[in-house]
Structure 1
Amino acid sequence: MLPEVRPGRVLLVGAGPGAADLLTLRAARAVGEAQALLYDALVPQEILDMAPAHCLKIQTGKRAGRTSMAQATINRLMVRLARRGLDVVRLKGGDPSVFGRVGEEMDALRAAGIEAQVIPGVTAAAAAAAQFGFPLTHRGQARRVVLTTARLDQGGLAQDWRAAADPEATLAIYMGGAAAGAIRDQLLAAGRPATTPVLAVENAGRADARLFTGTLDGLAETVPSDLDGPVLIVVGEVAARAAVRAPALLTELAS
């Protein structure tokens, strides 16, 4: 009679914005001990290299506008590997709880009786603010932060943007590069002033991050159409505080 295989566990780990030195100690330890690693396309090689040589590595995709593994397939794969007795790390860009579908994955693992834990990571909005020297909140300018995505539906933005017109809210829009024109139109229609400062950051938190600044009425022109990396758009008075270039020390640390 074959011995019963003890199920492994699954750690849903935030890889941060991409720089290995922005991983938390707990996240780095999880990757270093992983027996199976299911990782998103934006996770850089330097982080993947932290996994043991014998670790099974599977890319799941999960990059806006690119072919990705279906979420249901990822869920089944995590369960299957854990039931084989492997300790699995599901490695996601940024923080798993910020547009990382962590709720769906936790539900699937719990339903299958698999032990699962979340290890948080630095999200792109926080990384961009640190790298380019602007706050997400600021006394007298920004009392709240709204994190949202720019999901397009039949050519238009699918969500209601009226709450984002609050002049005391900093609006951080993930995956917004391709929708810059539609974002501008929706926010102007909702009452956000045309002169509101805006910025866009490509590859926030990495050594090759780029900053583009402007005002809301020119948002479509502020964001170049040929950007290949992930783009974060920030709308609000705090955007005017961004440095033209990332501080030298942060650039050095990210390289």
Structure 2
Amino acid sequence: MAQTGTIYLVGAGPGDADLLTLRAATLLQSAKLVVHDGLVDPSILALVGSDATMISVAKSRSKHTLRQDDINALLVREALAGRDVIRLKGGDPFIFGRGGEEAEAAHAAGVPVEVVPGISAANGAAAAAQIALTHREASSMVTFVAGQCKGLADQDWAGLAGKGRTLVIYMGVKTAPQIAEKLMADGLAPDMPVAVIENGARPTMRVLRGVLAALPEIVSRERVVTPALIVIGEVAARPPKGGLASPDTALAALAKEAFQ
């Protein structure tokens, strides 16, 4: 009977291969089986040896290569067959990466698991854009939420954004109108600064700045695509240089009227 392999839940970081941990790079270079997400940058996949088996389980809003339960089963099956499995994820495995579900499936099957943390998409993208998620003059609290999920309108985000607070929204491009409407309905000022970071920490990164009321217009006009993060709070206006200039007061007012 083959000895049980180990499942390694590895964070690939926000995209730049230079931001991998040493542990992650070492595992990739010696890997024989890599199960990876679609958002992992090609420069990171290139670190894997040519004799390794590569399996993509890329997900998108409307199409999943494999359902999560099937991914869990794949990882467990391969490990029980005696193979070490590198489960490679963008960002950090335990921050909107479903790593917790995969670890639970492995434990239930008696398969050993090692978690190799990565720089989260929020930390990596914000750092690349030089947006400090906390700042003594602007924010003492930061919250991460998912903008693409069931029951978005029913979720209680009250108190997560506002003066002295930073809200970072993952997977919020498609639901930007609902996000802006939700936050303003909760009392957040329409002129609260926002920044949209597209392809954070990659050569194609864009940082688009504006105000909350104009968020849907920014996403639409600039044709923002995933991966992208939305940062809401006073820190989004610091530093004020670079990226898209804040929309003028008239544009913000028009956007606000559209949600009333």
Structure 1 length as normaliser, TM-score? Answer: 0.89
Question: Within 1, Cα distance between the matches of 2:117 and 2:189?
Answer: 35
Deviation sequence 1:169-207 (CA, Å, 0-9, x none): 100000111111111111111111111100101111111
> After the TM superposition, which segments of 4 or more aligned residues of structure 1 sit over 4 Å from their partners?
none
Residues 31 and 52 of structure 2 are in contact (CA less than 8 Å); yes or no, is this contact kept in structure 1?
Answer: yes
Q: CA deviation at 1:46?
A: 1.8
1:229 is displaced (CA, Å) by: 2.8
- SS of the residue corresponding to residue 175 of structure 2 reads helix
Structure 1, gaps ≥5 residues long = 246-255
Instruction: Provide the C-alpha distance between the structure 2 equivalents of 1:212 and 1:183, rounded to a whole number of angstroms.
Output: 17
Q: Judging changes above 3 Å, is the alpha-carbon distance between structure 1 residues 177 and 46 closer, same or farther for their aligned structure 2 residues? A: same
Matching of residue 99 in structure 1 with residue 87 in structure 2: no
Counting only pairs closer than 5 Å after superposition, residues 120-131 of structure 1 correspond to structure 2 as 120-131=117-128
Partner of 1:181 in structure 2? 177
Q: 1:151 to 1:229 in 2, by over 3 A?
A: closer
Q: Would you say the 8 A contact 2:126–2:197 is kept in 1?
A: no
2:207 maps to which of 198, 207, 211: 211
Alpha-carbon RMSD: 1.6
Match of 1:59 among 56, 60, 63: 56
Q: Does 1:168 align with 2:164?
A: yes
Partner of 1:244: 242
Deviations, residues 100-151 of structure 1 (Å, cap 9, x unaligned): 1111111100011111011011112111221121200011311110000112
Distance 1:158 1:12, change over 3 A: farther
Q: 1:195, 1:215 within 8 Å by CA — same for their partners in 2? A: yes
Alpha-carbon distance in structure 2 between the residues aligned to 1:176 and 1:114: 34
**Match in the other structure for 2:250:** none
Identity in percent = 42
Change beyond 3 A, Cα 1:83–1:46? same
Letter of the structure 1 residue corresponding to residue 135 of structure 2? H
Q: How many residues align?
A: 241
Any residues of structure 2 matched to 1:1-255 within 5 Å, and which? 4-153=1-150, 157-224=153-220, 226-242=223-239, 243-244=241-242
1:132 touches 1:244 (CA, 8 Å); kept in 2? no
In 2, Cα distance between equivalents of 1:134 and 1:62: 28
Measure the CA separation in 2 of the matches of 1:187 and 1:167: 13
Q: Which structure 2 segments of 5+ residues have no match?
A: 244-260
